[in-house]
Amino acid sequence: MENIISFQISAADDAIHQHICQFAAAEYQSRYGISLDTFPDMFVYGTTPSGEIVACFGASWGSNHYRLTTEWYVPEEALTTYIGSPLSTFPRAKLCEIGTRVVNLPAGCGTNSVRTSVAMSAALLLHLHKEGGQFSLFTADRSVQVIAKQLRVNLMQFGAPDLSRRDAAYIKRWQPYFDIPRGCYGFDLAQAAAGCLKVCEQLSQSGFGFDSSLFDSTTSTLAVSA
């Protein structure tokens, strides 16, 4: 059976990354009127059988950034309590952030945006766990709770984003995004991995394809595409 959507990984130095950034930027411009000029370090992205990019979900590593975006929005003491050690001593290579989730399916695709988001989220979280990630942060609207429930991810909730550490120009630019009620969240990638693997195993039997580079082949029984 031909896959409805196939998911792969893209890093900033590969050929497809720029096309994914353009896809994400067009959606943010259309949805919020915001021109994106920075993008995640990597993406899991979905394509149709014809190769059209129809979905993406990005992630960035703490080791590549002075502060991840969500770190600006959450009091440091709250994050310290969550990860169990001060941010100044926690290995930033184990801290990551997910974001820039976009789904734009063509008519007659054979699936829907929620199902696609669940599959893509599961693939991204498994990949981050494979790469050594321990904790992830993100900022999102309430729809994320539907996805987390299906993946059986235990979310830590930090409340609404605190924009007091961002300047007026930043707040003005991103106001259309924050006009939609949003929260700041975190989760343990090891806890998330088991539920995500089960979801990917199920969805791989119903039209979703997952590239072998996304997962640790020594621990996964998932049938993946080479």
Instruction: Quote the DSSP letter at residue 181.
Output: -
pLDDT score, position 224? 46
Q: Whole-angstrom Cα distance, residue 120 to residue 113?
A: 10
Task: Choose among 86, 196, 78: nearest CA to 137.
Answer: 78
Q: What is the pTM of this model?
A: 0.92
Instruction: Report the range of poorest mean pLDDT among 7-11, 64-68, 85-89.
Output: 85-89
CATH of 5-214, picked from 3.30.1330.200, 3.40.50.20, 3.30.420.40, 3.40.630.30, is 3.40.630.30
Q: Whole-angstrom Cα distance, residue 173 to residue 106?
A: 29
Q: Whole-angstrom Cα distance, residue 160 to residue 164?
A: 12
Question: Within 10 A of 87 (CB to CB), how many other CB atoms are there?
Answer: 15
* pLDDT surpasses 90 at 197: yes
CA 212, distance to chain mean position in Å, is 18
- Determine contact, residues 192/151, Cβ cutoff 8 Å: yes
Instruction: Quote the DSSP letter at residue 106.
Output: P
Q: Whole-angstrom Cα distance, residue 175 to residue 102?
A: 19
* pLDDT surpasses 60 at 208: yes
144-156, pLDDT tens digit by residue?
A: 999 999 999 999 9
pLDDT band at 116 (very low <50, low <70, confident <90, very high): very high
